[in-house]
Amino acid sequence: MSHVALLAWILFAPLAAAALNGLLALRSARVPVPVEGHHLRPMDRLAAGIGVAGPLAAAVAAWSLGFAFLARDRSLRLTELDLGTWFSMGQAHVTWLFRVDPLSLVMVLVVTTVGTLIHLYSVGYMAGDAGFPRFLTWLNLFTFAMLVLVTARDLVVLFLGWEGVGVCSYLLIGYWFSDAAKAAAGLKAFVVNRIGDLGLLLGMFLLFWSMAPGGQASLDIDLLSAHVTKLSVPLATAAAVLLFVGAMGKSAQVPLHIWLPDAMAGPTPVSALIHAATMVTAGVYMVARMHPLYHHAPAALAFIGSLGALTALVAATVACTQTNIKRVIAWSTVSQLGYMFMGLGAGAFSAGIYHLFTHAFFKALFFLSAGAVIHALHGEEELGRMGGLWSKLRVTGPAFVLAAAANAGLPPLSGFVSKDAILVATWNAHHPVWFAVGLLTAGLTAFYSFRLVALVLAGPPRDAHLAEHAHEAGWAMTLPLVLLAVGAVGAGVLEWPHELGGTLWFSAWLEPVFYPSLDHGVHANAVVDIILTVGSVAVVATGAAIGFSLHARDGASTGAPLTGLQGLWATVKRGWHVDEVLERVVVRPVVFSSRAAAPFLDFLLGWGARGFVQGLALAGRGLAVAQSGLARHYAMVMLGGLVALVAWAVLSGGR
């Protein structure tokens, strides 16, 4: 099959699956759910088949394309699918152009491969749910939107995918609509993401109009990349920072991270697919994709790296204190995303993307095995009622340990390799502070990962009744665990360090993409690299040992490990009070001083969604008083408007 045809398969197989499942979802609404329990109706079986087949076909096509690329010369590893013009008006000209190059292919492989496994897993996880085909429809649609995002050659088409994944995420987080908290979490995620999108759109418009004088008024990524050096540095920096604000929303960077932990209200496979493996990495991908722009704006790059380092550290501390199994992993995801941005900030684009790649495997594994634990305990998510499950869960247990170890960065797992690549890159790029923060974060990561392992699997059960009835899940859930575990262990081979006898295959693969921006001095000094690696391994091993031993004891609590830490512990547990602090510092004084101005200030300061909406509602209520229903009052308001217009016109028109 030709490469273009393979690309068409990659894009449209998930879309076709979504369409078919959508039709099934409409029909299945009329068929009653048989009984309580995990049974599939015949219709659900069909939906499951279609739902898994779509991403699977895309994955097969993606791997075929990958092997076809390998057989080609480096400079020829590019395929484009041209579906004609989307619209062309005035200066705006947008084409349906989808492109796969080595960078896009990495993303496509992650989305389709990990995606297929998660689709399969959700068949087991969601079985018996009344809206089963509907759930799969949205999951498929999400996969399609994500593929559009990573293959688009025009920023406007990328934005289509960007919004598409946002909508699907919103629908999937709030999937169990009857639960008000879950619906609110969906809305929060949506609104916070809109704040990010505001930055993205402004960045796009700024790029568009700043390129216009040179006759390059286009948002075609290749054209932009080719001409970006013509921009003045301040302008490029502004555009780069604005685009990054979009990435902050999508990829949960401080302070727009507040939505991600709440998004865990959705079904676990959703958390794994959207909020760990794919959607949240869209920001990282976008920044990497626009690397010529960022290369042209070093200040923006430094900003990205610093914010990434801050996010990594803050989120890692919060993860240490959480008592809900999914929230620990959610905060861990925020922290790892910060790590990726730190890598990008250091100019090590391929290291950042490589961490994205390995993270997709081990974090999906982490989430799915956590989901299997929750499933085994009939929906229990609190760590305080877990423990002693190692002997019960013969597949999930080892998978969980592997995921934790990879997340912690223990050698020789994939997490170790990619994390080490970023740490070395920050050191070599002369960012000792980022390096120190990264090292500290690595220690904390190891600590909370093994704290989790100890609390879930080791020791005596904290809830004997739950533990007794725990049962391993069916093959649809355990098979993805096994396959993902293979990926989480094996993905490290691709970038095994020189010093340990490996080849840097992954960065060589991405070299055609990043060549102009590539920092050729990344692995400058082998001796330094080895020292750094040994040091980080020591820190990680210490963290892991402390985390495990403190929490594997009899009667270990989920609270602070040392009594002296309790105050700090409580603060950190509330996410450093970011939500509350924002409310106290920003919102209340503003509300008191000026009720009408509150919404706008809230918005500017990027405050949480709920308060924002409430503030607006308050101002709206003020306006509603004027809407009294009396025609005379309306006439008075109109008269006021007329007087204002006349005054303005006459005063300003004096010339």
Partner 1 sequence: MNTQLATYLPLAPLALLVLGALLALLLVPSVRHGDPDRTMAWHAGMVNLSALVLSVTLWVRPVIGMEPVGATGAFRATYMGGALVVDSLSLLLVALASAGALLVLPGLMAAADRGSFAHGELHALLLFAVAGSGVVASAGDVFTGFLGLEIVALSVYGLVGLDRSRPGAHEAVLKYLLLGAFASAILLLGMAFLFGATGSLSLGRLQAAAVHLPPARHGLVMLGLAAMVAGLAFKVAAAPFHMWSADVYEGAVTPLTGFMATVVKVTAFVFGLRLLVAGLAGVGTDWQPLLAALAAASMVVGNLMAMNQRKPKRMMAFSSVVHTGYMLVGLAAAAGSTGTDAVQALVVYLVAYLLTNLAAFGCLDVLERNGGLDGAMQRNPGLATAFVVALLSLVGFPMTAGFLGKYMVFSVAFGAGLGWLGVLAILSSMVSLAYYMPLLFRVLSGALPSPAAPPSLATGERVALAVSSGLVLVLGAGILAVAGWMVPGAHWVAQWALQSGAVLLP
Partner 2 sequence: MALHAPLLVAAALFSIGVGGFVARRNVFALLMCIELMLNAVNLVFVTFSRQWLSVEGHVTVLLVVALAAAEAAVALAIVIMLFRHRETLDVDVFASMKE
Judged by the rule CB under 8 A, the positions of this chain that interact with partner 2 are 624, 627-632, 635-636, 639
> Around Cβ 40, how many Cβ atoms within 10 Å?
17
Find the shortest distance in angstroms from Cβ 583 to partner 1: 19
3-state SS of 436-452? HHHHHHHHHHHHHHHHH
Is residue 440 within the footprint of partner 1 (CB under 8 A)?
Answer: no
Rounded distance, CA 348 to CA 305, Å?
11
Contact status, residue 403 vs residue 366, Cβ threshold 8 Å: yes
Rounded distance, CA 329 to CA 544, Å?
16
Whose Cβ is closer to partner 1: residue 570's or residue 644's?
Answer: 644
- Beta-bridged to residue 92, according to DSSP, are 89
Find the shortest distance in angstroms from Cβ 188 to partner 1: 11
Amino acid at 398: P
Which of partner 1, partner 2, none does 5 bind, CB closer than 5 to 8 A by kind? none
DSSP H helical segments within 574-608, as ranges?
578-581, 588-593, 598-604
Stretch that binds partner 1, among 184-192, 322-330, 387-395, 529-537 (CB under 8 A): 184-192
Q: What are phi and psi of 650, to 5 degrees?
A: -70, -40
Rounded distance, CA 346 to CA 351, Å?
10
Compute and round to an integer the Cα radius of gyration of the chain.
26
Is residue 213 within the footprint of partner 1 (CB under 8 A)?
Answer: no
Binding partner 1 (rule: CB under 8 A), the pick from 64, 68, 194, 549 is 194
Rounded distance, CA 332 to CA 445, Å?
7
Binding partner 1 (rule: CB under 8 A), the pick from 85, 232, 391, 525 is 85
Is residue 159 within the footprint of partner 1 (CB under 8 A)?
Answer: yes
Binding partner 1 (rule: CB under 8 A), the pick from 170, 259, 427, 548 is 170
* Binding to partner 1 in span 552-611, by CB under 8 A: 599, 603
Q: Is the peptide bond before 412 cis (omega within 30 degrees of 0)?
A: yes
Whose Cβ is closer to partner 1: residue 569's or residue 603's?
Answer: 603
Find the shortest distance in angstroms from Cβ 592 to partner 2: 25
Stretch that binds partner 1, among 107-115, 231-239, 448-456, 630-638 (CB under 8 A): 630-638
Rounded distance, CA 346 to CA 118, Å?
32
Q: Say whether 107 sits in a helix, a strand or coil.
A: helix
Whose Cβ is closer to partner 2: residue 76's or residue 637's?
Answer: 637
Rounded distance, CA 69 to CA 62, Å?
10
Binding partner 1 (rule: CB under 8 A), the pick from 42, 90, 501, 567 is 90
506: Cβ contacts below 8 Å, ≥ 6 apart: 350, 354, 357, 494, 495
Find the shortest distance in angstroms from Cβ 101 to partner 1: 23
Residue 474's Cβ-count burial label (10 Å; 0-12, 13-18, 19+) is middle
> Around Cβ 67, how many Cβ atoms within 10 Å?
8
Stretch that binds partner 1, among 157-165, 228-236, 263-271, 565-573 (CB under 8 A): 157-165
Which of partner 2, partner 1, none does 603 bind, CB closer than 5 to 8 A by kind? partner 1
Contact status, residue 158 vs residue 86, Cβ threshold 8 Å: no
Is residue 653 within the footprint of partner 1 (CB under 8 A)?
Answer: yes
Contact status, residue 426 vs residue 525, Cβ threshold 8 Å: no
Binding partner 1 (rule: CB under 8 A), the pick from 2, 30, 32, 67 is 30
Find the shortest distance in angstroms from Cβ 632 to partner 2: 6
Tokens of 399: 């998978």
395: Cβ contacts below 8 Å, ≥ 6 apart: 372, 472, 478, 481, 482
Tell me the CB-side half-sphere exposure of residue 22, using CA atoms within 13 A: 10
Find the shortest distance in angstroms from Cβ 163 to partner 1: 6
Which of partner 2, partner 1, none does 616 bind, CB closer than 5 to 8 A by kind? partner 1
Stretch that binds partner 1, among 177-185, 273-281, 353-361, 407-415 (CB under 8 A): 177-185
Whose Cβ is closer to partner 1: residue 430's or residue 655's?
Answer: 655
Find the shortest distance in angstroms from Cβ 653 to partner 2: 19
Rounded distance, CA 578 to CA 581, Å?
5
Size of residue set near partner 1 by CB under 8 A: 75
Whose Cβ is closer to partner 2: residue 229's or residue 628's?
Answer: 628
Which of partner 2, partner 1, none does 653 bind, CB closer than 5 to 8 A by kind? partner 1
Whose Cβ is closer to partner 2: residue 636's or residue 644's?
Answer: 636
Is residue 37 within the footprint of partner 1 (CB under 8 A)?
Answer: no
Query: In the block, which residue shows the tokens 């992650």?
Result: 110
Binding partner 1 (rule: CB under 8 A), the pick from 212, 226, 538, 565 is 212
Find the shortest distance in angstroms from Cβ 634 to partner 2: 10
Binding partner 1 (rule: CB under 8 A), the pick from 167, 436, 541, 546 is 167
Residue (of 487, 355, 348) closest to 431 by Cα position:
348
Find the shortest distance in angstroms from Cβ 636 to partner 2: 6
Binding partner 1 (rule: CB under 8 A), the pick from 4, 49, 64, 163 is 163
Is residue 214 within the footprint of partner 1 (CB under 8 A)?
Answer: no
572: Cβ contacts below 8 Å, ≥ 6 apart: 317, 318, 320, 321
Which of partner 2, partner 1, none does 357 bind, CB closer than 5 to 8 A by kind? none
Find the shortest distance in angstroms from Cβ 628 to partner 2: 6
Which of partner 1, partner 2, none does 579 bind, CB closer than 5 to 8 A by kind? none
Contact status, residue 251 vs residue 341, Cβ threshold 8 Å: yes
Query: In the block, which residue shows the tokens 């993860």?
Result: 319
Binding partner 1 (rule: CB under 8 A), the pick from 475, 505, 515, 648 is 648
What is the DSSP annotation of 39-59? ---HHHHHHHHHHHHHHHHHH
Is residue 180 within the footprint of partner 1 (CB under 8 A)?
Answer: no
Is residue 654 within the footprint of partner 1 (CB under 8 A)?
Answer: yes
Residue (of 27, 15, 154, 171) closest to 97 by Cα position:
154
* Binding to partner 1 in span 233-292, by CB under 8 A: none
Rounded distance, CA 566 to CA 562, Å?
7
Find the shortest distance in angstroms from Cβ 485 to partner 1: 34
Contact status, residue 25 vs residue 43, Cβ threshold 8 Å: no
Site string for partner 1, 129-148 (x = CB under 8 A): --x--x--------------
